Amino acid sequence: MAATTVPSAPEAALKADVAALRTLLDGEHAEIRNLCRAWLSLPENAPRPDLPMEEHREQVLAWARTLADAGETSRGFPEEFGGRGQVGGAIAGFETLAFGDLSLLVKCGVQFGLFGGAVLHLGTRKHHEAYLSDITSLRLPGCFAMTETGHGSNVQQLATTATYDDATGEFVISTPDDDARKDYIGNAARDGRMAAVFAQLIVGGESRGVHALLVPLRDEDGNVLPNVRIEDCGSKLGLDGVDNGRIWFDDVRVPRENLLDRYASVSEEGVYHSPIENPTKRFFTMLGTLIQGRVSVCGASISATKVALAIAIRHAESRRQFGPGGRDGGEEVVLMDYRTHQRRLLPALAKVYALHFAQEDVVARLHHVFTSEEELDRERRELETLAAGLKAVATWHATGTIQECREACGGMGYLKGNRFAALKADTDVFTTFEGDNTVLLQLAAKNLLTDFRDQLGELDPLGTASFFAGQVWETVAERSAMREVLTRIADDLLPGRDDQEDLASREVQLELLRWRSSHIRSGVARRLKGGIDAGRDPFSVLLDCQDHLIAAARAYVDCVVLESFAAAVGRCEDPGTRALLDRVCDLYALSTIEADRGWFQEHGRLSSTRSKAVIKAVNTLCGTLRPHATDLIEALGIPETALGDAAPVARAEA
């Protein structure tokens, strides 16, 4: 995407129109976001982390039914099945819901995103007609039963089996041992009546890989069905309003039609057929259709981080401590006036803004891919890479920033009544929910290293490493001309003076991050090729390079995020607001460079003088943005029920 360079403005020109900034942030789905804000603003819908677990679960279910009755939970589904076909709008609403009780958010994500999404994207018309209306109205509470105790991220090796019995025309679902039990399944412990169960499909005595089937769990009165065993996971670190459970299947029989058969079917005679012949490619294709959950979790983590920053910055604007006035009995200085406090909060706020706009771009791509009638294979691959990388970076940012905000509020932040306990506990699982972050970054890096994702997706780790030694190296080599251009630009970043003028250039910021991304990516390919050329075991070479793969993915995400932010600044029409947003973008870019300035120095991209200038520039930007901190958090549009009403430390008089 093209970045827009906005001329620097004098500090006097920095004046945010909060309404204009909120309009820019809300984007094309402003109406949906405002509907969600209005619902959250009702006192009865305020977060309730103080409730005992069973009461919390009951409250969350009641909230979910209220949203379903209002038609808000069907928004992303096709119109012919009672939805509105607004995939992007559904995610925007989900993101906004994350300002409130996160147990409700996850409950909705499991029911409508995962369970409903599996039926929609993996099933065919017969499944859509039979189930989607009941799923979106919450008449049929359901589960997404993928994870097993012994197989977390390694979904391809799940041990649950679904064996076709051609004598009866049924699949027999079995849990061979406790390692194969479905574990941590949302909606399972109390409310779920059906599950989309992922199992090894066995037809004619031959394993066909992992497929999804619909398996009833309870009857309409909530009684667990025969040959199904369910155990409550009990109290967790957070999200106690979600009824997570474990499920065992003891030869449970379901009709042949219960196989979600978009990508594979079994005839009545027991003949297996799939339009995708390669089983590994078929597996990754099936998982790729469920990307909406990953994108949604990313957006939710960004919203939760906004809440934490808003609480901490509000507190910092009113809490006074030390200062020259204090010695003479005069008024002390507010926390936000201290550079150390600005440093703790403002770069994190700038990154939240940056992630917001990057998420907006990903959602737009998702909507395009999911609603297009064309086959957009390349677009799907790019979306998978973006979603995996951004989800990892955003959820880690949430975990770190919420902790920083808690500390910035001192002992007041440690009180349960000020929301940080719930925010910390409830978002912590986001780093492993919808994909462990480290695994996701490796997935993103694997995609980045080659334009031949189709072939790569069909390879096991050994084949992947060998493949890198061939075609990937050629792909990286083709980019050498571009790297030379970037190197020449980067070489201009080594003046011996101690000023900050060129650091304010968006192109300088972008090219620094682009050069780092390109350099790390080609370095991974060189290591892989060198190790294999030396005769080493390819899998061992791949393991040795895992840290390098992670670095490549993170560098890529940093580039994409800055490009999205720069483009958003260019879309801002109000001059004063645009000038302010431009400085926020500068702070994101330079604090990102500052965090890795040792790498830039090691690789000759910054001299020691320029490295020090980066620190000075970040300090200057923190001081410049300090008077606008309140406007920047007000523009986020967080309902008061999620701030001062839910966290007294965020009230002006606190």
**Count of alpha carbons within 13 Å of 116, Cβ hemisphere only?**
30
* CB burial of residue 219 (10 Å; 0-12, 13-18, 19+): exposed
* Average pLDDT over all residues of the chain: 88
- Which pLDDT tens digit goes with each residue over 598-612? 999 999 999 999 999
For residue 616, the tally of other CB atoms under 10 A from its CB is 14
Residue 498 has pLDDT above 60, yes or no: no
* pLDDT of 10: 55
- Which pLDDT tens digit goes with each residue over 165-182? 999 999 999 999 999 999
Of 293, 343, 306, nearest to 642 by C-alpha is: 306
Mean per-residue pLDDT for 523-539?
A: 83
Whole-structure pTM over 0.85, yes or no? Answer: yes
Confidence of residue 370 (pLDDT cuts 50, 70, 90): confident
- Which pLDDT tens digit goes with each residue over 439-482? 999 989 988 876 433 433 444 444 554 444 444 444 444 444 44
* pLDDT of 329: 65
Mean per-residue pLDDT for 386-409?
A: 97
Both tokens assigned to 117:
């999404």
Strand 252-255 with 265-266, pairing? unpaired
Residue 326 has pLDDT above 60, yes or no: no
Strand 161-165 with 194-203, pairing? parallel
Query: Percent of the chain scored above 90 by pLDDT?
Result: 70
Do 144-279 and 290-640 show the same overall fold? no
Measured CA to CA, the distance from residue 250 to residue 431 in angstroms comes to 32
Contact in structure between 410 and 314 (CB atoms under 8 Å): no
- Which pLDDT tens digit goes with each residue over 566-588? 999 999 999 999 999 999 999 99
- Which pLDDT tens digit goes with each residue over 547-566? 999 999 999 999 999 999 99
* Letter string b/e over residues 304-327, b meaning 16 or more CB atoms within 10 A of that residue's CB: bbbbbbbbbbbbbbebeeeeeeee
Q: CATH assignment of 26-136, given 1.10.287.130, 3.40.50.300, 1.10.3720.10, 1.10.540.10? A: 1.10.540.10
Place of tokens 């737009």: 364
- Which pLDDT tens digit goes with each residue over 205-234? 999 999 999 999 999 999 999 999 999 999
**Which residues are paired to 185 by β-bridges?**
245
Confidence of residue 333 (pLDDT cuts 50, 70, 90): confident
* Letter string b/e over residues 246-271, b meaning 16 or more CB atoms within 10 A of that residue's CB: bbbbeebebebbbbbbbbbbbeeeee
Mean per-residue pLDDT for 236-251?
A: 97
Q: Which fold has domain 290-640?
A: Butyryl-CoA Dehydrogenase, subunit A; domain 3 (1.20.140)
- Which pLDDT tens digit goes with each residue over 351-362? 999 999 999 999
* pLDDT of 652: 52
Q: What one-character-per-residue DSSP string does 596-621 give?
A: THHHHHHTTSS-HHHHHHHHHHHHHH
Measured CA to CA, the distance from residue 422 to residue 48 in angstroms comes to 10
Mean per-residue pLDDT for 375-385?
A: 84
Measured CA to CA, the distance from residue 479 to residue 473 in angstroms comes to 10
Instruction: Decide which of 541 and 142 is more confident.
Output: 142
Q: Which of 136-145, 164-173, 351-360, 497-506 has the lowest mean pLDDT?
A: 497-506
* pLDDT of 475: 46
- 286-289: long-range contacts, CB 8 A cutoff, minimum separation 24: 286/122, 286/210, 286/211, 286/212, 287/155, 288/380, 288/384, 289/117, 289/121, 289/122, 289/262
CB within 8 Å of 132: residues ≥ 6 apart = 77, 78, 81, 82, 83, 116, 119, 120
* pLDDT of 230: 98
Both tokens assigned to 46:
């305020």
* pLDDT of 375: 67
Q: Is the dihedral of CA 252, 257, 263, 268 positive or negative?
A: positive
Contact in structure between 119 and 128 (CB atoms under 8 Å): yes
- Which pLDDT tens digit goes with each residue over 250-295? 999 999 999 999 999 999 999 999 999 888 888 888 887 779 999 9
* pLDDT of 372: 79
* pLDDT of 247: 98
* pLDDT of 451: 45
Contact in structure between 187 and 142 (CB atoms under 8 Å): yes
* CB burial of residue 403 (10 Å; 0-12, 13-18, 19+): middle
Domain limits, the chain: 26-136, 144-279, 290-640
Q: Is 159 helix (H, G, I), strand (E, B) or coil?
A: coil
**Count of alpha carbons within 13 Å of 401, Cβ hemisphere only?**
29
Residue 123 has pLDDT above 60, yes or no: yes
Q: Which fold has domain 144-279?
A: Butyryl-CoA Dehydrogenase, subunit A; domain 2 (2.40.110)
